[in-house]
Amino acid sequence: MEIFGISSQALFGQLLLGLINGSFYAVLSLGLAVIFGLLNIINFSHGALYMIGAFVAWLGLEYFGINYWAALILSPLVVGVLGIVIERLLLKHLYKLDHLYGLLLTFGLALIGEGVFRNLYGSSGQSYPVPEILQGGVDLGFMFMPLYRGWVVVAALSVCAITWYLIERTRLGATLRAATERPELVQALGINVPVLVTVTYGAGVALAAFAGVLAAPVVQVNPLMGSNLIIVVFAVVVIGGMGSILGSIVTGLGLGIVEGLTKVVYPEASAVVIFVIMVVVLLLRPAGLFGKQA
């Protein structure tokens, strides 16, 4: 069967791969959005923390025999704590300054993170095995779908859904949303906003680490794995509208699929399609697809 002269097999296959990539975009941009919402900081080190998340999983397996499933919980915890330390030690001092300083500081952190791991482990990448029960795959007719990739989509979507639920439907989330609107007043009502900020940052980077662990068996665990991805994710966040939770999830998945589609139709453009969409969106809707108009 063919659609527009493209075999449906290739089309569906690429769309599915796009969805898998989109899952990573979604989880990463979700973390960025959560952080941006409350701290007003574009967390440039998000990609590095994603990479560190993957490395923590790899190191755990290599040196302590910690398996994938444990790593899926442990690594976000470790990285979350790292995030908390970063926030308490460094970011805290920047809130009164122009928000650009947050961007610059986290950029510096990204360089440090990447550099340290590059020195310790080189940039050739370490391979992380697919966990036993997710090896193999299913034949979907149009393509052979490795189980693990299917799991990535399921896990990413679940985490997105949980995060969305936490923020939009719970008391904690309500507090968070209120603090995004008027931090001072929320504090005056007796809520410890500084701690909330710290925890939020920790949680946001834990999401990055989670994505990192998910990615570990898919790509080589490699110090540079986050640095190119993150720019795309920035574009996703800009397109979705900064700070919008639902926006970042939907846009992340959507753009992954669009990218997949481009690979079928005009592969040369697949690397840039997201940036092109970003420019178009900005010209038409400066606040992004889901952003509140300024």
Partner 1 sequence: MSATAIPSGASAFKPGGELLRITDLHAFYGESHILHGIDLTVNKGELVTLLGRNGAGRSTTMKSILGLVGRRTGKIMFNGTDITAMAPHRIARLGIGFCPEERGIFSGLTTEENLMLPPQVASGGMTLDEIYTLFPNLHERRHSPGTRLSGGEQQMLAMARILRTGAKLLLLDEITEGLAPVIVKKLGEVLRLLKTRGYTILLIEQNFRFAAPLADRHIVLEHGSIVATVTKEALPSQTEMLHQMLGV
Partner 2 sequence: MKPVVASSKSQAGLMFGLLLVAGLVAPFVAYPTFLMKLLCFALFASAFNLLLGFAGLLSFGHAAFFGGAAYVCAWLVKEAGWSPELGLVAGTLVGGGLGAIFGWVAIRRAGIYFAMITLALAQLVFFLALQLPFTGGEDGLQGVPRGKLFGLVDLSDNTAMYYFVFAVFFAGFALIYRTVHSPFGQVLKAIRENEPRAISLGYQVERYKLVAFVISAAMAGLAGSMKALVFQLASLTDVHWHMSGEVVLMTLLGGLGTILGPGVGAAVIVALENELADKVGSWVTVIMGSIFVICVLAFRRGIVGELKALRERIN
Partner 3 sequence: QVSDGVVKIGVLTDLSGVYSDVAGKGTVVATQMAIDDFNAKEKPSFKIEVVSADHQNKGDIAANKAREWFEQGKVDTVSELVTTSVALAVQKIAKEKNRIALISGAASTRVTNEDCNDVTVHWTYDTYAVANGTAKAVTKAGGKKWFFLTADYAFGHSLEKDAGDVVKANGGEVVGAVRHPFPGSDFSSFLLKAQSSGAQIIGLANAGGDTINSIKQAAEFGVTPKQQLAGLLMFITDVHSLGLKTTQSMYLTEGFYWNLNDDTRAWSKRFFDLHKRMPTMVQAGQYSSVMHYLKAVKAAGTDDTAKVMTQMKKTPVNDFFAKNGTIRDDGRMVHDMYLLQVKKPAESSTPWDYYHVRATIPAAEAFQPLSASKCPLVAKK
The pair of structure tokens assigned to 76 is 């976000």
Q: What gap in Å lies between CA 172 and CA 205, rounded to an integer?
A: 18
249 binds partner 1 (CB under 8 A): no
Site string for partner 1, 184-213 (x = CB under 8 A): xxxxxxxxxxx-------------------
150 binds partner 3 (CB under 8 A): no
> Coil, strand or helix: which one is 221?
strand
Vertex 283, ends 279 and 284: CA angle to 5°?
A: 120
Q: What gap in Å lies between CA 83 and CA 89, rounded to an integer?
A: 10
Interface residue with partner 3, options 98, 132, 139, 181 (CB under 8 A): 139
8 A C-beta contact, residue 206 and residue 83: yes
We find the least distance from the C-beta atom of residue 195 to partner 1, in angstroms, to be: 9
Interface residue with partner 2, options 10, 116, 134, 289 (CB under 8 A): 116
Longest dimension (CA), the chain: 64
Name residues whose C-beta falls within 8 Å of residue 193's C-beta, 6 or more positions apart in sequence: 179, 183, 186, 187
| Number of residues lying near partner 2 (CB under 8 A) | 41
Write out the H or E segment, with its range, that includes residue 185: helix 183-188
We find the least distance from the C-beta atom of residue 7 to partner 3, in angstroms, to be: 6
The entry of partner 2, partner 1, partner 3, none that residue 286 binds, CB within 5 to 8 Å by partner kind: partner 2
The entry of partner 1, partner 2, partner 3, none that residue 164 binds, CB within 5 to 8 Å by partner kind: none
- Would you tell me which residues interact with partner 2 (CB under 8 A)? 40, 42, 90, 93-94, 97-101, 103-105, 107-116, 118-119, 231, 234-235, 237-238, 242, 268, 271-272, 275-276, 278-279, 282-283, 286
